[in-house]
A and B are shown apart, each in its own frame.
Chain A
Amino acid sequence: MPKPLTVRASNLGKHYFRVHERPMLLREAAMLMAGRTRKVDDLWAVRHVSFDLHAGETLGVLGANGSGKSTLLTLVAGTSFPSEGTISTRGRISPLLTLGAGFNFDMTGEENIVACAGLLGIPVAEANRRMQQIVDFAELGEVIDTPIRYYSSGMVARLGFSIAMNVSPDILVIDEVLGVGDLRFQEKCIAAIKGLQDRGITMVVAAQAPLFISAFCNRAIWLENGLVKLTGTADEVADAYNIAMTGAGMFGEDLADA
């Protein structure tokens, strides 16, 4: 039985004006109306990107800094609107674009779990039911009653990751946040992600390390200056990217480390 289609990007594009100071102030709006426009550059952060994803598939997004990976991910997650084309999704999305988005540092871990899970679409009762699971996964134990202001940054990140993993999303969008916690915790994260994949969750993952992409993803796209440079199976794209980046003599060692 073919798996259902869950994400379809058709000719996606995101356009920004590159202005030299942001935000625009009223004065500039007035100048605009008076016809005295300031020179602004056009910037297509992402353009002409199309792909289809079925339930259970994982798409890796590779590319240098500033190549449009994060922009593409915000479009898939639905936190920003495309300037061109359409992104269609089906099911609950859990965006993991930064860990602990929406945490309030004056509130306890427990309160933050309820609030965050709610923001990801989990009703309060369900969040309370999963509380223990989330706390255990984040390895926080007793400190869950403490305002997260007093947590270490690793603890906050672990909590954020644990929430995102445990809200049973249909689509998970992950932006380079996997370097969380110590090595042991990272291994646990990887196991958790594999578990989600087995359960048929669709994922879109941005990463710098080709090794990671080939280990996790079925397919990958390589972005360069917002355009698709190469698309194909994860191994193909990861190899090509690896060769291009190390061949150019840049970041070679970083990649090996990662």
Chain B
Amino acid sequence: MSERVRSGVNPAAVEATLKALLARGLPEVEVLAKRGRSRRFALDGERTASSYAEERGWAVRAGDRRGSLFACGTGDPSPEGPWPPAYPPALRLPTPQPPPPWKEPSDFEVPLIGEREGLALLLGIARELTAELPRGRLLAATLEDGSSEGRITSSKGLSATFRGRLAALRLEAIGPGLSRPAVVELSEREARRFNPKALARKLADRLAVGAAPGLTDGEERSGNLLLAPAVAARLLAGLAPLFFGPRTDGEISAILGGAVRIGSEALTLIDDGRFPGGVLESPIDGEGTPTREVGIVERGNFLGPVLSPGQARGANPTGAAGSRAQISGIARRASFRDLPTPGPSHLYIRPDPKVAVGSLLGSVAIGTYLIDALGPARFDFATGSFVLPVCGLAVENGKATAPIGHAWLSGEISDLLRGIAAVGRDLAFLPLDGMIGSPTLLVHGLVLRGR
């Protein structure tokens, strides 16, 4: 198969551009070229929309010891540019490393979902929701199924191709007794993996619980908390900035109450750019550095933050986050327009394959099962505290007794991490800032409040 067919880009244009920039006296040059296509479907009341988009673009980072520039555009890169002037700071590209062996998933080859199929999926969810909850209604739904491929080349000798596959679904539904809709956002590698019946059931549960009265102002519920993956992942997304990028021991201690021992034995936290079956699974990151599984917290012990090679060069090696820093390919690049930005790819709490959610629920004598977050978590790293709007079910002797439509889960971040008593086996990811995943968590020591 020719290079042009495989990566979808014109390798001659990429090479010529690289040479032209080197000839301009810029020793650090990286050229990325990418192509993609996507189908998008939207259902909005009685209206439907279907789109098909083809994207083709390129991006160049170049520089020397004095300055750097970034340029990008649609089409193929051209040796003529035009190239903007280089301004400080200097640019130092990562030294390429060969990625460990990786087998491209076969579903990368599956064709995009067709027009009738895509709209049928959304209409199927709407139908199933009405069957699950007769007065429930799907207000709006969007489905996007896309694939992309490209090539990244640098003056350091990097020459790599990459491919990706991503489907995203967003559902907004309303039910009896609710003034605000329930929203579900999910990602899969391929749109056909979305199951209308399961999604409708999830929405119906969420609508039924959301319609119940919430905790009143000043009301509190203590006892054990069971956090469903949707709730735990939201909390983890809020914590993610602590674990990526240079951090000193002092900073970590101030927020988490310790520099090493930050969580319970049950807490093991991993980021893995090549998570098998993951939506963002790839052997290299957005600047061609190999991805790998990186343990961030092992049985409650913080092993050190994850840094991209560029961050590692800038980090102070005596600052302890620096001394324990783990370098990996974590630069994400959503499109050719975006600069590589370090962050999580598949960040998740390791599940315990021996623990079923039912057994976790059965262990709760008095407590609450929080099934969903009603919005993003707010973390205040200055005070080490957090708050998250949630809904769920009151639990007594392992059985749900009453729905709780709205409450605030709040507390200290250190109490949250140290309070994880057990984890389930039902790992699920949410598309937040990267794919953020968690199994169900059993947590002690947090309080649920009304306003």
To the question of whether A and B form a pair in one complex, the answer is: no
